[in-house]
Each structure stands twice: as structure tokens, then as C-alpha cells.
Structure 1
Amino acid sequence: MPLSRDVVENINLSGGSFLGVSRGGAKTSEIVDSIQARRIDMLFVIGGNGSHAGANAIHEECRKRKLKVSVVAVPKTIDNDILFMDKTFGFDTAVEEAQRAINSAYIEARSAYHGIGLVKLMGRSSGFIAMHASLSSGQIDVCLIPEVSFTLDGEHGVLRHLEHLLNTKGFCVVCVAEGAGQDLLQKSNATDASGNVILSDFGVHMQQKIKKHFKDIGVPADLKYIDPTYMVRACRANASDAILCTVLGQNAVHGAFAGFSGITSGVCNTHYVYLPITEVITTPKHVNPNSRMWHRCLTSTGQPDFH
């Protein structure tokens, strides 16, 4: 696909990917065979942890073959879960769009008798979107993320707290990350094309548990479940992300022309930097349950420790 200035002009005005997206794909050796056959000397890999791992594998294969190819990654993931990065582009836009879903859930819950709004947001192993969207909206009563364990049942469980909220406020709004509560669900060994374990749907599980709980105790509850996953992913980048991805892209090109390879272009400790891909793929970045940001979120929601 030719990427001339005329072709790419104004592609920033819409969401999605101009190049297309995929999971899995060809073997590393076949990719490098194609790079060698086409005499490509610069490869830019845009994506999250999986894409960075793939970029590193390509970089190592090129080194093994002694090819003069610069392999440079650009961190793009709305989950904001790449190690050492202050922020990845797509995250700010995702949080902003997630607030629309939260606001809809809030309006629905507040308008109904014993209304409960339940919003599931993206975040397989990291709850950054759920935490930031909850904190920025100021409308969430319970935020559940993968990094913090909790119980649903029992005297100190989430469901009992929802009872309390309905009795005192008359309504409540709950935000859950998709990877939250996996220890409460039946585990699956199935994987997707990228080798990621396919998670059980905690949002649907939570929906069913809430309905059953209030039915069992004879209390009417009007539950509205909202899953804005693809609305959050597919919208146009906001101004903050547009600037960030422009700078990261430019820096990636500068790095490649300088002869660097096996690096990623990012922001670390407020500075634009190059980082070795091998370092950032060791583990995903997680929300620190002892961090000020998580405790700010807890202060905003007013939720107790669900144990």
C-alpha cells in the first residue's frame, strides 16, 4: 500500500486503522523473508505488548541474518499497560469516550426506582481505563479492576454494598474492567490468535449475579448493563492523543534514520525517550493498589474493602 502524503492526508480525522488490524499472523522467519526480498531497511511496528514482542522477534531474526534493518516500535494501546510508559496513545481518548457510557449509565440508574448502572470497560490485566474513567466522571460508586481482589457475596461483598447504596441513595453506578474478578469465574485454557488467554466475561457474570441477588432477597432492582467496548475503540483520537501519536511517530522515524533498532518510542517520566523493546515486554504495567491514584479513585467512589 503506497503511503504518499496525498493518500494519508486527513486520515487522522476518523477512528480505526488505515492500515488495518490483525491478531497473530505469519511466522517471524516468513516476515523477515519478505523484508529481505523487498529490500526493506526500516520497519515500524505499531501496537501494544503483543506487537512489541513481535517487533523484538523480527529485530532478533534480522540481527541473526546480519540484515541492515531498523525495527522500531510505537506504543499504541488504549489499555495504557506498556511498562515504563507514562502514557500510550489512545488512552486519553478511551477514557474520554468511556465517560459517555458512564454518564448514560448514571442517567439511567438515577431515573429509575432502585436503578443500577453497570458499565464494563476494556482492561484485560490492567485497570487504568476503569480507574481513570471512574475518577474523572465522579459518578461511579464501585470500581472493580484486575489488580485488586474482591468478593461478591457475604457481609462485606460487593452485592451487600449495592444493597446499602440502594437503601441510602436510591441508585448506584458500577464500573468494571473486563479482566476484573477472573478468580471468581471458571478458568479457560483457550487462547486467541495472539496467544492471549481468552477471559471469561465478567461483565455478563456481574450482571447475572446482581439480578439473582436482588431477586433472591425480594428487592426490586432496575439494572442497565452497558458494554461500550467498540465505541471506545473506534472513535476519533482527541487532541491530546493526536499530538502524542504525532510526536511518537516522528521520534520513531528519527530513531530509525539514526540507525537504532529494537527500540520503542515513548514517554517516560515526562520525557520523550527511546527504550529497549526487551525491557518493556517483560511484563504489562499494572495499577498499583497502594498508589495515590487508586486511593483517589477509592475516595471518589467511597467504596469499602470488599473482603
Structure 2
Amino acid sequence: MTRHWIDQLRHSLRSGPCVVVTITGVRGSAPRETGSHMLITDGRQWGSIGGGNLEHQSTAQARDLLASRQEDHACEHKFGLGPALNQCCGGSVTVLFELFCEPRYEWLERCSEHAPGEVLLTTFHGGKADKWCQDAAAAWPQAVPGPVQKYFRQQLNEQSFAVFSSDGQTYFAEDLRPRKVPLALFGAGHVAQALVPLLDQQPFELHWTDSRSDLFPPGVKDFAQVHQVADPVGVVRIMPPGTAYLVMTHSHELDEDICDAILQREDIAWLGLIGSETKRRRFEHRLAAKGHTSKSLERLVSPVGLAGIRGKRPATIAVTILAQLLRDCVPEQWR
């Protein structure tokens, strides 16, 4: 399971100090977006701010900060990605380094509770960063001025990280609510078995359905909601609006029943059906006989997977399906 950086920081501080490295500004082309995090301890690194010389230099600076033991110190550094770092991106990146030495922090404990609507607020000035974690709808701390609060509330409707600078002080707001697309996967055969581990690393809230309990691998419930039910069609009715559906059961008859139930909903984000062009044509004919219009049937994507990548190995098919899901279902800022 992919660990959120908040959880990773809490875990790392049990063993000693840790530096959190965060991209707080990007101009031009850069390998990662604002809000990307990397954690550095004496012996380990977690996460990435884009690799290359930028990450190499940032890691070295973080280790220098660790060695200094300047408790709760914070500093910003601007990196040019052209001649200075010999990277071809050509833009510039501002990076915030924060050293945490204590095993527990009030804001961190609150963040780790994962209450809905959480926002992490940071004020940075003069080598010190103060943090608050709270419900986005609640009153924000007075240390964050009203105009800044208004700006953040607007920005966090569309993105997960926002920055505001004024009078030598910088403010950061990070929306900690998981931004994931609900994905209902029907079937636990070979392709699904190859696909599910890849989904763990991506912004999907996975619901995995099959009637056979022995096919779900150990540990899958750590990152997926498993529905081991005799009637998979019933799962369609409980899925939230905006769900993407992927159908690949062991039975064509069951596939048809599931697709029929999905197409009766007007609020689906996407519907993919594994199979050939022949299977698609047969399904369109049968589903039309059940009352589905041609416009409704246009929502059925089959075959699934990016065109142009041929192969019948489950691992290959899984990669092409994941790429298609990311392209068609996930907003760019969530990827």
C-alpha cells in the first residue's frame, strides 16, 4: 500500500529526525508539480521531487540540514533547472526544507487521524515554519490573514496545494483529502490480478468484486474494498456517482448483466469491457434488445487498453488498461 507522506513522516520520526522536502513553486518546465514531497532521514529516502540532479542536490542539502540538528528549522532554496543543474527542463523550482526532530507534533497527530475535510496550513518566515491541521470548513487560525484564507479556499476547490506570499511571509495550504476516482472492477481473473497491484500506486478508490473468495490476494483489503458476493450486479447499485467501471468476469453472461445494470445509470464516469470487437458487437445487439439506446451504448468502451500496444499477456494488458484509465478518467492534476 502506498503510504501518504503524513503517515510516512509520523512513522519516520519514531526512529529519529526527518527532513521534509516540498516543491513550493514551479516556473516553466519542471519534472514534478508544486506540493510534491520527499522525506529524508539519516539512512532512508521516501518519495520523489522528480529525480535527476534536482533531487540529488536537494537530498544532499536535506542531509546537511539533518547533520546540523537545527531543531524545527526551515529554509527555502530556488533551483534553476538549466545550466545550474544541467537538466533539460529549463524551468526553475523552489524547494522548502523542513527539519523535524521531535517524535510527536500536535499538528501531525491531528493529521494522522484522517478526519474528512482536512487542510494542512503552513506559515513560513525567517527560518521557521508553523503548521496547523484542521477541518477546511472550520475557522482557520488568526496567523493566516483573511485574504489569504479566502484565496486558499478558492484554490483548493480545484487543486490540492496552493501558495500565497505577502510582506516577506509565505503561506502554504495542502488539501489532505484523498483525490481519487471511484473504480469498480468486476472479476478477479488473471488480468485483474495483474492490474490491481498497479492501481495501488494510482489515484483510484478501488472496489473489487467477484463471487470467488479464494481469488483475492492477501493484503488487498489494505487498499481496496472487496465485495465477495454471489450477485455482483447488486454492487453496481451501491456505487457512488462518478464511478468508473471495468468489467472482466469469467462469464460473458455475467458481463452482460453487469453492463446492463451500469448503463441504466446516468451518472457513470466510464465503462470498459474486456474482450474483442466481436464481443462488443454482440453485447451492443443484446443490450439494444434490452432497451438501451445507441447513444447510451456509445458509453461502452470495448476492447479496453490503449490501441497500438498488442499483446495477450495479462501483465501487458493490465498496463495498457491502466494507461487508458489514467488518460480517460483521472484529471491531470491528480496524476
TM bucket, shorter chain = under 0.3
Higher Cα Rg: structure 1 or 2? 2
Greater per-residue strand proportion? 2
Give the TM-score normalised by structure 2.
0.23
Give the TM-score normalised by structure 1.
0.24
- RCO greater where, 1 or 2, for CA within 8 Å and sep 6 or more? 1
Greater per-residue helix proportion? 1
